[in-house]
Amino acid sequence: VSKIEQQERVTIRTVAADAGVSVATASKVLRNAYGVSDAAKERVRASMARLGYRPHAAARGMRGQTYTLGVLLPDLRNPFFAEIMDGVNRYLASTPYQALLGLGQSAVRLEHNLVENMLDRQMDGLLLVAPRLPIQEIEDIARRIPTVLIGLHEAGATAYDTVNNDDFESGRLAVRHFAAAGRRRIAYFSLAVAGSPEDTTVIHRENGYRAAMKELGLTRSIRIVHADQTREAIRAAAMHLLRPATRPEAIFCWTDFVAFEVISVARELGLDVPRDVGIIGHDNTAFCDLDIAALTSIDQSGPKLGADAARLLVERIGGRTTSQFITVAPRIVQRGSSAGSRAL
């Protein structure tokens, strides 16, 4: 049996032997568990460092934790997710946890499979970002594994935590911003939601929009259009919305990408933005800042959402069982697309 010096793996057994303690003690040091003398602790730590010991995650997963958190993202196309992940990773950097992402490809079936896969891999917790999954399934998941949601407002949830932008407030911010500039016929460009949960961000923004319009006595001017997330659908809806006879003075788009398309269509129709129609987007993604876009947008501080969510998840894994719901205030970032008043 020729076995070339195959550089024996350093296991907890190697470490224990090196430090002159039992495997059980070495394990306790590894997990920061109580019941180890300072002297032993120190020797074990020294051995781990000297030997370059790295715990075998699969073995830990057999009995204890994997220190892996699964993050489910519907896709990679929304630049806002990058902001969220910045916050998640920044928070986790000071913990023993590692975030690993799975992509649901925006399909319920794939999201479902992905969650099952993450459960199979004994992840310690799940962070679901804007999940397409029905609320019932999310509750089933949350009963099996610590779960935190971003981008889905709670419906009296008890099994999981949620972290959200105050989307209701986002809707009001947009309306008030336009109204303050003298615009009254303000439309909301929404997403076509087919069988999705009632508590999505899109719906909350719509509710805030409605409420603000009502408060300002503009109930009669409420106008909402829905379009699928495809370019064609968005353009078609924009064309229709911008017809001369019924053209609104301002449009609040539920997300930046839609706003960019609406601006494009408006220009094609020979309209001037913001003079003829003001536009506001949502998420304040990087492109808003480009002069060719100059899109006023509502910022929902993704890094804070991500960091809060990661913190809640770690807390839940640590034993907390009562649900927490965090809401972060949005703020409007004004740029050219909504500048000036209608009365100009």
Residue 248 binding target from its own copies, DNA, none, CB below 5 to 8 Å by type: none
Residue 222, number of CB atoms within 10 A of its CB: 17
Is residue 24 a contact point for DNA (CB under 7 A)?
A: yes
* Residue 315 CB partners (closer than 8 Å, separation 6+): none
By beta-carbon proximity to its own copies, the closer residue of 33 and 58 is: 58
Instruction: Please pick, from the candidates 51, 57, 225, 328, the single residue that binds its own copies as defined by CB under 8 A.
Output: 57
Radius of gyration of the chain (CA): 25
Task: Supply the minimum distance, in Å, between the C-beta of residue 121 and its own copies.
Answer: 4
List, as one string, the DSSP characters of 37-62.
-HHHHHHHHHHHHHHT----HHHHHH
Q: Minimum CB separation from its own copies for residue 286, in Å?
A: 7
Q: Between 179 and 198, how does the x/- string for binding to its own copies read (CB under 8 A)? A: --------------------
Identify the residue among 23, 110, 135, 192 touching DNA (CB under 7 A): 23
- Residues within window 25-64 making contact with DNA, judged by CB under 7 A: 25, 27-28, 30-31, 33-37, 39-40, 53, 55-56, 59-60, 62-64
Peptide bond into 74 cis (omega under 30): no
Give the total of residues touching its own copies (CB under 8 A): 51
Distances (CA, A) of 83 to 80, 130, 283: 5, 14, 10
177: nearest Cα among 298, 291, 260, 288 = 298
**By the rule CB under 8 A, 89 interacts with its own copies:** yes
Counting contacts by CB under 8 A, is residue 14 touching its own copies? Answer: no
Tell me if 284 contacts DNA by CB under 7 A.
Answer: no
**Which span sits near its own copies by CB under 8 A: 29-37, 83-91, 306-314, 325-333?**
83-91
Tokens 């019941």 sit at which residue?
35
Q: Least distance in Å: CB of 66 to its own copies?
A: 7
Tokens matching residue 275 = 């003079």
Q: How far is the CB of 33 from DNA (least distance, A)?
A: 7
CA 217 → CA 177, 181, 210, 226, 246, distances in Å? 15, 15, 11, 23, 19
Work out what residue 116 binds among its own copies, DNA, none; the CB cut-off runs from 5 to 8 Å by kind.
its own copies
Give the orientation angle of helix 80-92 with respect to helix 302-317, to 10 degrees: 40
292 binds, options DNA, its own copies, none, Cβ within 5 to 8 A by partner type: its own copies
Q: How far apart are CA 117 and CA 326, in angstroms?
A: 28
Window 64 to 123, contacts with DNA (CB under 7 A):
64
Determine, following the binding rule CB under 7 A, whether residue 12 of this chain makes contact with DNA: yes
List binders of its own copies among 304-343 (CB under 8 A): none
Nearest to 130 by CA among 311, 300, 320, 324: 300
Which residue of 27, 47, 48, 102 would you call a contact of its own copies, by CB under 8 A?
A: 102
Question: How is residue 140 written in tokens?
Answer: 């089933």
| Whole-angstrom distance, CA of residue 156 vs CA of residue 202 | 18
Interface with its own copies (CB under 8 A): 54-62, 66, 68, 70, 75-77, 79, 81-82, 85-86, 89, 98-103, 105, 114, 116-117, 119-122, 231, 257, 260-261, 263-265, 267-268, 286-287, 289-293
